[in-house]
């Protein structure tokens, strides 16, 4: 068994779509970044890579490389899953906590859970999607994701 941990943050910016967990969510701002800014998929990708002691997302997909501009972050996740498989492991479950002031994730959590589970090839009841507002943190204009993942030998 292996455990992995990933963390990411992105700043909210007007005029771009919001993507979290591979889903476009209704909101008046999106998350800036070189790729599509999907803070949750980035943290999951880093958790998977960390579990196999691999290079991190920034090393594999550097923002300085133009080919990753506006990239679909599912591409990063797929590469992490490919490396996990090559290392002889498969994901068992993952758990996440998002920290953001808006939009409210509760009503969207089921859809995010199902989509992330599909992307990771695990059952929906093996994906935890939790959200908090940034009380006292002063990070109202950012979205933060924390992820842990468990792998087993396959």
Which residues partner with 148 through β-bridges? 5, 95
Q: How many residues bind Mg ion (CB under 5 A)?
A: 2
Which stretch in 5-13, 20-28, 103-111, 141-149 sits in contact with Mg ion by CB under 5 A? 5-13
Run of H or E including 142: strand 142-153
Tell me the closest approach of the beta carbon of residue 57 to Mg ion, in angstroms: 7
Contacts of 13 (CB under 8 A, 6+ apart): 29, 30, 31, 32
Q: 2, 6, 8, 47: which one contacts Mg ion (CB under 5 A)?
A: 8
**Gap between the Cα atoms of 143 and 24, Å rounded:** 15
In the bound state with Mg ion, the residue whose beta carbon lies nearer, of 2 and 42, is 42
Tell me the closest approach of the beta carbon of residue 152 to Mg ion, in angstroms: 27
Which stretch in 7-15, 44-52, 81-89, 99-107 sits in contact with Mg ion by CB under 5 A? 7-15
Q: Rule CB under 5 A: which of 39-98 touch Mg ion?
A: 42
State how far the alpha carbon of 151 is from the alpha carbons of 52, 67, 79, 93, 139, in Å.
Answer: 9, 30, 16, 8, 31
User: What is the binding site for Mg ion (CB under 5 A)?
Assistant: 8, 42
């Amino acid at each position: 068994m292996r455990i992995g941990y990933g963390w990411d943050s992105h700043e909210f910016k007007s005029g771009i779509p919001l993507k979290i967990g591979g889903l476009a969510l209704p909101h008046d701002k999106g998350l800036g970044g070189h790729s599509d800014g999907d803070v949750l998929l980035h943290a999951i990708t880093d958790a998977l890579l960390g579990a196999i002691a691999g290079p991190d997302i920034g090393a594999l997909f550097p923002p300085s490389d133009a080919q990753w501009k506006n990239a679909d972050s599912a591409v990063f996740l797929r590469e992490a899953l490919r490396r996990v498989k090559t290392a002889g492991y498969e994901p068992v479950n993952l758990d996440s906590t998002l920290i953001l002031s808006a939009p409210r994730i509760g009503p969207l959590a089921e859809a995010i859970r199902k989509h992330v589970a599909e992307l990771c090839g695990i059952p929906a009841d093996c994906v935890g999607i939790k959200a908090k507002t940034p009380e006292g943190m002063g990070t109202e204009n950012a979205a933060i994701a924390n992820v842990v993942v468990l792998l087993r030998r396959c």
